[in-house]
């Protein structure tokens, strides 16, 4: 629009002179207001599109996204004009950098190509959300039903059938995805980045290559723990299914780990748990038999943890506007997510909750996003975000680490705390999710970075995917795959173009946060038995970090909560130290690696 274009012009642009600090300040004020307005518009359109999947809602969401991306690209290019201005204040310089890095999906400078890109993005997300596997002679299965079969079935043939079926839904997405990559890369290069992967890696207050090295450093710290877990799990799966299906010293077949993506393994706890399992409780069974706790009641429990730390309760609109249960009358994107629709108090979650232990944990995770969003609401718009995206993902999981048996006793879900000898079984159950996830958390973006850079092309998308899964996870497909398959697209975060390194960082940071907060709460026992429930001192320290938003580089935020300025996986190693010793004892004489 001509009026908007005129508003973004600085005096330097109009006169042809070099920009000044005053020009930069005026530009940032306008850009921040414009981006704030468009963000609310896009969030509302996306909320409707994910809750009512139709052709029209896809169009509306794509148009809102296109409008936001076009403005963000225009503003990012204009922000680059101030790179050489030497006298900018800290806030103006940081906000200019954030404007340049605000896009996950940068559109090309040609608006028609951006329109094409946003249309494809909406189609990819909707295609995934509406996908169903139709077994021969049976009813179609959505991802929630597939997830339940993978969780509960112990029949290899059935597991292979649904694994094959769900991965087949991604084949139609491959051509669209390849075009989407081309257009996204074009937008990133227009902004001065080598490709979209380099843009993503630039969002961490360090050069792109330095961030990649930081991820490798953290992985090196935790890989020995993962290797011990992998060896133990493979041995137990071999005992259950036979060495012909799970050979020693070979990769684990991906369909036997209780999860359609083999990203977390907690669902096979019944296969690998120690024989003398002293836990004596199953939270899923407890929840199922508690008629007084429904799906919304589980969310209420999560909210009460945060209020016990001194946070205010969630607003009434949260309970009125969130989606807690899967509707029976329409398709929705069931992938759990937290929303802040107006950058103030219109906080929501979108989940298809079931009464299980996994959902109990996921609720705490998503509420962590909501409480983070509200904590920084008084920051300027460009600072209304986490210190880095790993921080946002880590906060709720940090709280979930305090969901210990002792905590469950305190809130009335357990009669008594299991004895100390139960710790190995409990730690193993946690490791099956949190430790097993680590290499998956790395390889998703390792694959995408290679796709964005051109090292991996559509001709070898699938081979590269499974090569990385083998390298990092020691996982292999249960049957031969080809380039007609597009197995990456069977994962929501690929179809929806959501960066994934944040989830790896969150797995590391949550333990670092937990250790620091437990120390501030005065906990003296083992880290895995410590909880910050009802500790206002821990809440004060957590709130201080959350309220900073993105106003300072992430090492400053990390220091506010932990006193440390470097991400460090030793807290995770401390937490699982008893398990590591036990695993190594169990693994003696058994082949390690793959």
- Give the model confidence (pLDDT) of 244-297 as tens digits: 999 999 999 999 999 999 999 999 999 999 976 555 678 888 999 999 999 999
H-assigned helices in 52-110: 55-79, 90-100
In this model, does residue 470 exceed pLDDT 90? yes
Mean pLDDT of 539-566: 96
Angle between helices 55-79 and 90-100 (to 10 degrees): 140
Task: Give me the chain's average pLDDT, please.
Answer: 91
Choice among 23-32, 477-486, 523-532 with the minimum mean pLDDT: 523-532
Q: What is the pLDDT of residue 290?
A: 92
In this model, does residue 3 exceed pLDDT 80? no
Cβ contacts of 310 within 8 Å, gap of 6 or more: 536, 539, 540, 543
pLDDT: is 161 or 422 the higher one?
161
Mean pLDDT of 567-592: 96
| φ/ψ of residue 258, rounded to 5 | 85, 5
Q: What is the pLDDT of residue 330?
A: 87
Distance CA 283, CA 327 (A): 25
Q: What is the pLDDT of residue 335?
A: 83
**pLDDT > 90: percent of the chain:** 75
- Give the model confidence (pLDDT) of 331-352 as tens digits: 888 888 999 999 889 999 999 9
- Give the model confidence (pLDDT) of 68-127 as tens digits: 888 888 898 899 889 889 889 999 999 999 998 888 888 888 889 989 998 999 899 889
Catalytic residue set: 335-336, 365-366, 369, 393, 493, 503
Output the CA angle 415-417-422, nearest 5 degrees: 135
pLDDT band at 453 (very low <50, low <70, confident <90, very high): very high
Pairing status of strand 337-340 against strand 347-350: antiparallel
Q: What is the pLDDT of residue 48?
A: 92
The two most distant CA atoms of the chain are separated, in Å, by 79
């Amino acid at each position: 629009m001509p009026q908007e274009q005129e508003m973004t012009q600085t005096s330097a642009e109009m006169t042809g002179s070099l920009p000044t600090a005053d020009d930069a300040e005026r530009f940032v004020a306008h850009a921040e207001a414009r981006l704030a307005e468009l963000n609310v518009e896009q969030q509302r359109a996306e909320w409707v599109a994910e809750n009512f999947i139709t052709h029209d809602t896809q169009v509306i969401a794509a148009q809102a996204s296109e409008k936001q991306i076009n403005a963000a690209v225009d503003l990012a290019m204009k922000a680059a004009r101030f790179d050489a201005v030497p006298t900018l204040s800290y806030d103006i310089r940081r906000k200019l950098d954030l404007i340049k890095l605000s896009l996950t999906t940068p559109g090309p400078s040609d608006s028609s190509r951006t329109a094409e890109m946003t249309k494809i993005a909406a189609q990819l997300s909707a295609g995934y959300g509406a996908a169903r596997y139709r077994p021969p002679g049976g009813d179609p299965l959505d991802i929630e039903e597939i997830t339940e079969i993978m969780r509960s079935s112990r029949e290899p043939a059935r597991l292979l059938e649904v694994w094959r079926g769900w991965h087949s839904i991604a084949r139609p997405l491959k051509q669209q995805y390849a075009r989407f990559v081309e257009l996204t890369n074009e937008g990133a290069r227009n902004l001065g980045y080598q490709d979209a992967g380099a843009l993503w890696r630039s969002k961490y207050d360090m050069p792109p290559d330095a961030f990649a090295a930081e991820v490798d450093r953290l992985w090196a710290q935790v890989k020995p723990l993962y290797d011990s877990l992998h060896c133990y799990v493979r041995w137990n799966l071999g005992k259950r299914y036979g060495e012909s299906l799970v050979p020693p010293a070979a990769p684990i077949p991906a369909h036997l780990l209780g999860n359609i993506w083999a990203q977390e393994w907690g669902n096979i706890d019944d296969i690998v748990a120690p024989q003398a399992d002293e836990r004596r409780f199953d939270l899923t069974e407890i929840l199922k038999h508690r008629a007084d706790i429904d799906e919304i009641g589980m969310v209420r429990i999560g909210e009460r943890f945060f209020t016990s730390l001194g946070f205010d309760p969630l607003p009434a609109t949260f309970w009125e506007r969130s989606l807690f249960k899967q509707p029976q009358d329409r398709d929705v994107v069931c992938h759990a997510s937290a929303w802040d629709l107006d950058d103030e108090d219109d906080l929501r979650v979108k989940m298809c909750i079931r009464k299980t232990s996994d959902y109990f944990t996921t609720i705490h995770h998503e509420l962590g996003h909501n409480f983070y969003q509200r904590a920084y609401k008084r920051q300027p718009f460009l600072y209304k975000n986490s210190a880095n995206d790993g921080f946002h993902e880590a906060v709720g999981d940090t709280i979930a680490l305090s969901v210990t048996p002792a905590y469950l006793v305190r809130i009335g879900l357990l009669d008594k705390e299991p004895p100390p000898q139960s710790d190995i079984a409990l730690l193993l159950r946690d490791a099956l999710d949190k430790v097993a996830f680590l290499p998956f958390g790395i390889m998703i973006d390792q694959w995408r970075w290679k796709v964005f850079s051109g090292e991996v092309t559509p001709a070898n998308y699938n081979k590269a995917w499974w090569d990385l899964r083998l390298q990092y996870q020691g996982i292999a497909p249960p049957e031969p795959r080809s380039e007609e398959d597009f197995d990456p697209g069977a994962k929501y975060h690929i179809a929806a173009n959501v960066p994934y390194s944040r989830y790896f960082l969150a797995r590391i940071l949550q333990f670092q946060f937990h250790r620091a907060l437990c120390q501030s709460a005065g906990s003296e026992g083992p880290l895995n038995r410590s909880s910050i429930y009802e500790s206002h001192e821990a809440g004060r320290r957590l709130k201080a970090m959350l309220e900073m938003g993105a106003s300072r580089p992430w090492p400053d935020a990390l220091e506010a909560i932990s006193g440390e300025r470097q991400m460090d996986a030793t807290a995770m190693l401390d937490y699982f130290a008893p398990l590591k010793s036990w695993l190594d004892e169990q693994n003696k004489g058994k082949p390690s690696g793959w």
